[in-house]
Amino acid sequence: MTKTRKLATLLATVSFGALVAGSASAESLQDVMKRRGLTDNDVMAAAKTYNPTGKLDEFMVFSSGGQSGQVIVYGVPSMRILKYIGVFTPEPWQGYGFDDESKAVLKQGSEVQGRTILWGDTHHPALSETNGESDGQWLFINDKNTPRIAVIDLRDFETKQIVQNPILQSEHGGAFVSPNTDYIVEPAQYAAPLGGEFAPLEQFNEKYRGAVTFWKFNREHGRIEPENSFSLELPPYSQDLADFGKGPSDGWAFVNSFCTERYVGGIERGRPPFEAGCSAKDSDFLHVINWKKAAELVKAGKAKKINGHNVLPMDVSVAEGILVLIPEPKSPHGADVTPDGKFITVSGKLDSHTTVYSHEKIQAAIAAKKFSGKDEYGIPIISLDDAAHKQAALGLGPLHTQYDSKPCVAYTSLYVDSMVAKWDYCEGKVLDKVSVHYNIGHLMAMEGDTSKPKGKYLIALNKLAIDRFAQVGPLHPQNHQLIDISGDKMQLLYDMPLPLGEPHYAVSIETGKLKTNVRYPFGTDSRTEKKSPFAVRPGQERIEKKPGKVEVFGTLIRSHITPEIVEANEGDEITFHLTNLERAQDETHGFAVSKHNVNLSVEPGKTASATIKANKAGVYPYYCTEFCSALHLEMEGYLLVQPANYKATGVKGKEGQVYGQKEYDARVKANTDTQAVINSVVGYITSVNFKDFPAVVAMVEDATEQLGYAEQNKKKSEEFAAKGDYNAAFLWAEQWFQYQVKAADIGLRAKTFLEQNGAKKVEAAK
């Protein structure tokens, strides 16, 4: 098919598409319900979750990706997955761990004692807050296995920083943020000597320790400051989940724990396993910490250094009165502060009770020094009676609690019952229960851990899916269930399979609060968020060669890579720095080199680099890995790696095709015809109120840019034709046509958008 006919076909496809979209099914809703066996309730649930094409979700969810070491992003109520964010694990689509810039970020977390750790056990994501409300700027997530916290910028959903915990061997209950995100908390899990030294288990009580780390976050720079961060040394209990106080309890943090028995197992030594000894007592301890005062003590020099990190010793915390313990029912899990900051709920996994602690009562006991005793490490204990506001029997295996927009209303997951309990934490009474499938862990209400929960929806993060989805082998996907909580009775709406690790927790935000970028400022290194020193403008592309080193400063634009030929010698190190020159939304280019571990994702405006070793002579095609345009497959080039002893033969081969004036004239005529088609599309666009549609304005800008390039190439072809070099003239006329195709592609997209969105005729200009 000729290229002009291709364009005509493109035009035809667009109008055909519009026709199909307009035709309706002959079946009635009742017919479909009958055919698919749907009840009225099912149809209601479908109507509550279905997003017609083009309609966006009200909320966005950031779910931990469990063992995948990633973050999963999806929309509510549609439950459509929107993105996986590479965090602790390389993710090739995003180039994460495959370009030099992101490798540097990944490396901050992956290089551990000479080992390279390429996975993470992500548990708890946290969204940044201002005055206790989600502000949509940053996301943080922890790794339980290799204690680390990552910082993700929500302007582009990319991981920017990973900090390794310098004193812990394992952690769990982070990340959670203080009400203004000046600190991020990361409590330990399994006790070990702080700093990573060896000590035998016989010295568990003396040498093993728990801890909680408070990472200082610099909001201006969007980065954690390890040098201004600190930890509190804690007894070798298994600290678990944490939460920051807010409102009246601002300045305090709450950390639950288990295995305060300090039991060490050893089945092979003839001892009962950990699970027996770690749940023997009827209660464990909620740790109550005055973190603001702790930060001041660290500033005043009261901390000691372990691996260069500030650690407040337990005796200092006790002497300064910043650490107290309160009993909590058997094998507790979760510590969740209420939106008003007055209460903290903690559930006992092996107890049917959820305890509501009163911050006011706790403070009164501390002020009056009313303690029931001390633990073995000298930490004062407040009795449960002196701290509890209420205890409620919600069901079996209560775990985590989230809050509604309605006052006093909370939701608690019941692991053993496989249910969610809706209850009143002010009165301590159950309001409703709904079954979930199966064995729920965390649950999450919209902005339900902030000071302004939004209610409406709740998500059950179930541990088991069993029979909910078509079978895919013994390893099942996870099942996130969407529940409508807007009425008195909860209604289960939707099952979503999540096939990427076991997400433990998720957080959500109103989509409108996110201020994401659609492109980067020209030449941005997205990982440092600064201008890349390697960015080049079009026309400035170059290859620099030094002995043993080839450095390419190139650009990417529909549909070519500049440069297209790179020559190197066997043994050279080659670095490609590529800048995407596009400004159009969603015009990402990839870059891969055959048989090399390279894949870049270069979004509009971004500069990314890839360094490879040319260890084997040969011919290596490189190409764009994103289907970016009609001539995407032609977005290619060659890396030629010459053997060390290579001598050019001087024999010049023939080019595939040589063109003359006849081909040139035909090409020019076709281009002129194409321009007439483009002009008619432009005529339509400018005849309507396209300026009222920002998406179209952006498309028109892009198309105008493409037509500008077409014009430049038209001039070039004319210059060669004037010199009588019709071969070159023809090829530049082809390139002129390529830019026309791109302009037409965008123009038609804009025209369709306008037609489908009710654009109106405007008075002719002038």
Q: Which of 626, 663, 702, 745 binds ligand CUA (CB under 6 A)?
A: 626
Query: Which CB, 399 or 624, lies closer to ligand CUA?
Result: 624
Nearest distance, CB of residue 170 and ligand K7E, angstroms: 12
DSSP-assigned letter for residue 529: T
3-state secondary structure of 191: coil
CA distances, 277 to each of 29, 390, 396, 618, 753 (Å): 59, 29, 21, 63, 66
Judged by CB under 6 A, does residue 702 bind ligand CUA? no
CA distances, 382 to each of 239, 280, 332, 433 (Å): 18, 21, 17, 33
Stretch that binds ligand CUA, among 189-197, 620-628, 637-645, 681-689 (CB under 6 A): 620-628
Nearest distance, CB of residue 592 and ligand K7E, angstroms: 37
DSSP-assigned letter for residue 701: H
The pairing of beta strand 309-312 with beta strand 223-234: parallel
Q: What is the DSSP string of 712-765?
A: HHHHHHHHHHHTT-HHHHHHHHHHHHHHHHHHHHHHHHHHHHHHHTT--B-PPP
Give the binding-site size for ligand CUA (rule: CB under 6 A).
7
As a whole number of angstroms, the distance between CA 94 and CA 527 comes to: 12
Nearest distance, CB of residue 342 and ligand CUA, angstroms: 55
Report the Cα–Cα distance between both ends of the chain, in Å, rounded.
Answer: 41
Among ligand K7E, ligand CUA, none, what does residue 456 contact (CB within 5–8 Å per kind)? none
Among ligand CUA, ligand K7E, none, what does residue 624 contact (CB within 5–8 Å per kind)? ligand CUA
Nearest Cα to 607, choosing from 523, 543, 698? 523
Give the contact letters, 411-450, x = binds to ligand K7E (CB under 6 A), - = no.
Answer: ------------------------------xx--------
Judged by CB under 6 A, does residue 480 bind ligand K7E? no
Residue type (1 letter), 520: Y
Among ligand CUA, ligand K7E, none, what does residue 123 contact (CB within 5–8 Å per kind)? ligand K7E
Compute the half-sphere exposure of residue 385: CA atoms within 13 Å on the CB side of its CA: 3
Judged by CB under 6 A, does residue 714 bind ligand CUA? no
As a whole number of angstroms, the distance between CA 512 and CA 202 comes to: 55
Stretch that binds ligand CUA, among 192-200, 317-325, 433-441, 624-632 (CB under 6 A): 624-632
Query: Which CB, 456 or 589, lies closer to ligand CUA?
Result: 589
Residues paired with residue 646 on neighbouring β-strands, in sequence order: none
Stretch that binds ligand CUA, among 58-66, 224-232, 609-617, 627-635 (CB under 6 A): 627-635
Give the contact letters, 321-350, x = binds to ligand K7E (CB under 6 A), - = no.
Answer: ------------x-----------------
The sign of the CA dihedral 11, 12, 17, 19 is: positive
Judged by CB under 6 A, does residue 176 bind ligand K7E? no
Among ligand CUA, ligand K7E, none, what does residue 148 contact (CB within 5–8 Å per kind)? none
Is residue 252 a contact partner of residue 290, using CB atoms and an 8 Å limit? yes
Is residue 640 a contact partner of residue 593, using CB atoms and an 8 Å limit? no
Query: Which CB, 141 or 668, lies closer to ligand K7E?
Result: 141
Give the contact letters, 584-603, x = binds to ligand CUA (CB under 6 A), - = no.
Answer: -----x--------------
Is residue 357 a contact partner of residue 387, using CB atoms and an 8 Å limit? yes
Residues paired with residue 62 on neighbouring β-strands, in sequence order: 73, 507
Stretch that binds ligand CUA, among 87-95, 286-294, 628-636, 645-653 (CB under 6 A): 628-636
The sign of the CA dihedral 468, 469, 470, 476 is: negative
Q: Where are the beta strands (DSSP E) in 406-538?
A: 409-414, 419-424, 429-435, 440-446, 455-462, 478-484, 491-498, 506-510, 524-525, 530-531
The pairing of beta strand 636-642 with beta strand 565-569: parallel
Among ligand CUA, ligand K7E, none, what does residue 628 contact (CB within 5–8 Å per kind)? ligand CUA
For the segment 235-264, give every residue that binds ligand K7E (CB under 6 A): 241
Query: Which CB, 333 or 667, lies closer to ligand K7E?
Result: 333
Among ligand K7E, ligand CUA, none, what does residue 246 contact (CB within 5–8 Å per kind)? none
Query: Which CB, 322 or 635, lies closer to ligand CUA?
Result: 635
The sign of the CA dihedral 195, 196, 198, 201 is: positive
As a whole number of angstroms, the distance between CA 695 and CA 96 comes to: 29
Nearest distance, CB of residue 559 and ligand K7E, angstroms: 46
Judged by CB under 6 A, does residue 138 bind ligand K7E? no
Query: Which CB, 158 or 502, lies closer to ligand K7E?
Result: 502
Query: Which CB, 399 or 602, lies closer to ligand K7E?
Result: 399
Residue 391, C-beta contacts closer than 8 angstroms, at least 6 positions apart? 329, 353, 354, 355, 356, 428
As a whole number of angstroms, the distance between CA 733 and CA 710 comes to: 9
Nearest distance, CB of residue 758 and ligand K7E, angstroms: 48
Judged by CB under 6 A, does residue 624 bind ligand CUA? yes
Nearest Cα to 480, choosing from 446, 515, 442, 530? 442
Among ligand CUA, ligand K7E, none, what does residue 333 contact (CB within 5–8 Å per kind)? ligand K7E
Give the contact letters, 94-133, x = binds to ligand K7E (CB under 6 A), - = no.
Answer: -----------------------------xx---------
Give the contact letters, 374-393, x = binds to ligand K7E (CB under 6 A), - = no.
Answer: --------------------
Give the binding-site size for ligand K7E (rule: CB under 6 A).
11
Q: Which residue is nearest to ligand K7E (CB)?
A: 441
Among ligand K7E, ligand CUA, none, what does residue 292 contact (CB within 5–8 Å per kind)? none
Query: Which CB, 152 or 602, lies closer to ligand CUA?
Result: 602
The pairing of beta strand 176-177 with beta strand 183-187: antiparallel
Nearest distance, CB of residue 346 and ligand K7E, angstroms: 12
Q: Which of 635, 682, 685, 688 binds ligand CUA (CB under 6 A)?
A: 635
Judged by CB under 6 A, does residue 148 bind ligand K7E? no
Residue type (1 letter), 162: I
Q: What is the largest CA-CA distance in the chain?
A: 101
Written as six digits, the tokens of 598 are 């390279």
Among ligand CUA, ligand K7E, none, what does residue 550 contact (CB within 5–8 Å per kind)? none
As a whole number of angstroms, the distance between CA 738 and CA 363 comes to: 73
CA distances, 198 to each of 169, 189, 207, 376, 397 (Å): 11, 17, 9, 23, 36
Please state the separation of Cα 178 from the chain's center in Å: 20
Q: Which of 148, 330, 349, 504 binds ligand K7E (CB under 6 A)?
A: 504
Using CB under 6 A, list all residues that contact ligand CUA: 589, 624, 626-628, 632, 635
Using CB under 6 A, list all residues that contact ligand K7E: 123-124, 172, 241, 333, 399-400, 441-442, 504-505
